[in-house]
Homo-oligomer: A and B are copies of this chain.
Amino acid sequence: MKTYIGIDLGGTNIKGAVVNEQGEIIRQSAWPTHAEQGVETVTATIADMIRDLAKGEDIAGVGLGCPGTVDDKCGTVVYACNLGWINYDVRSALKKLTGFSVRLVNDANAAALAEVVAGAAKGAESAVVVPLGTGVGGGVVIGGKLLTGYTGAASELGHMVIVADGVPCACGRKGCFEAYASATALIRMTDEAMSAHPESAMHQIAAELGGVDGRTAFAAQQAGDPVGDAVVRQYIRYLSIGIANIVNIFFPEVVALSGGVANQGENLLAPLRREVSQQEYGAAYTAKHPRIACCTLGNTAGMIGAAMFAKG
C-alpha cells in the first residue's frame, strides 16, 4: 500500500508522520523547531525528519503544512510570521536535501482536509473547518479538494467582518469574525463581565483554574452563574453569525469546529446549532442542513492533512 509523509511545521515543534491512503498514521515523530536558528537550520531539520520517516517505506509523496500563506504552484512560503519566513523557496531547498518534491499547504487547510479524509467530516462531499483558538482560521474542502484560491491564501474565514466598525482586529480591519469568536475574544468578553460584576462566580473559578481563560465563562455557566451564562450566550451569538455566514456562502455538508473553545462540546454545539438554524437562508424549504460538529483528530490533523494533500 502506498504511503505518504506529512510534516506539520509549527513555531515550537516540527511533527511528521507516515500516513496511509486512508489517512491513518503508521508512525510519527516530533522534534523542536528552533526557529531562532534560522531558515536553513529549520529546513535541514525538516529534511532530516523526512529522510528518517522515509526509511524502509515506499513513499508516494511528501506534504508540508506551514503556518501563514503558502504558494504551492511556486513552491514558496509567501509569509509565515511565526517563522520569519518571507518568499522562501522551501520546495527547492528540500528537493536538494531529500530528493522529494514537497507539496505545500497552509496548516489550517491541511487540518480541514484531514477531517474530511479521516475525522469529523469523513466522507462529506464538502466541509468547512473553523479553528477557534488565539485567532480564527479556516479550511474549506469541496469535492475532496481544498479551496486555496488564486493566491494560495483563500479561506481566511476569521477575517470576514461581521460587525462593521466593531472591535479592531490584528489584521487591521474592524469587526472581524476573529475579533468576536476566537478564544482571545471570549477571554476579552469574560474579563469585561468580571470587571463589571465583582459578585460573579467567575472570579473564584478563574482563581481555581489559575487565571481567566476560554473555560472560565463556560464553567461558571455550568455552576449556575448568570454572568457567566450571559458571557457564553454573547459569545455563541457572535459565533453563530459567522457560522451562519459560512453556511449561507458554502452550504457545506459539515461545519466542524476545532481549537480550545471546541473542547466545550455539546455545551457549545447545542445552542450554536439552534442559533445557526434560525439564520440559515431558505432553511424552511430543504430537508438538508449542514451538520455542525467538533473536529476529532486533534493535533494529528496537520500531519495527516499534509500527507493527504500530497496524495492529491
Q: Is the interface of A mostly helix, strand, loop or mixed?
A: loop
Pick from B86, B172, B244: contact of A285, CB below 8 A: B86
| Nearest B-chain residue to A126, judged by Cβ | B150
Interface residues on A, range: 35 or more
The answer to whether B285 touches A157 (Cβ under 8 A) is no
Q: A282 CA to B150 CA in the complex, in Å?
A: 13
Chain B nearest Cβ from A247, distance in angstroms: 9
B-contacting residues, A127-155, CB 8 Å: 138, 142-143, 145, 147-155
Any B CB within 8 A of the CB of A249:
yes
The answer to whether A244 touches B155 (Cβ under 8 A) is no
Cβ of A245: which chain B residues have Cβ within 8 Å of it? Answer: 159-161
Write the A20-36 contact mask toward B (1 if CB under 8 angstroms, else 0): 00000000000000000
Most-contacted residue by chain B among A148, A151, A152 (CB, 10 A): A151
Any B CB within 8 A of the CB of A55:
no
Q: A126 CA to B147 CA in the complex, in Å?
A: 10
Chain B nearest Cβ from A217, distance in angstroms: 19
Any B CB within 8 A of the CB of A241:
yes
Cβ of A258: which chain B residues have Cβ within 8 Å of it? Answer: none
Any B CB within 8 A of the CB of A171:
yes
Q: A157 CA to B251 CA in the complex, in Å?
A: 11
Write the A46-70 contact mask toward B (1 if CB under 8 angstroms, else 0): 0000000000000000000000010
| 9 interchain pairs, CB-CB under 8 A | A79-B286, A87-B285, A151-B288, A153-B286, A156-B248, A159-B245, A162-B162, A163-B164, A172-B278
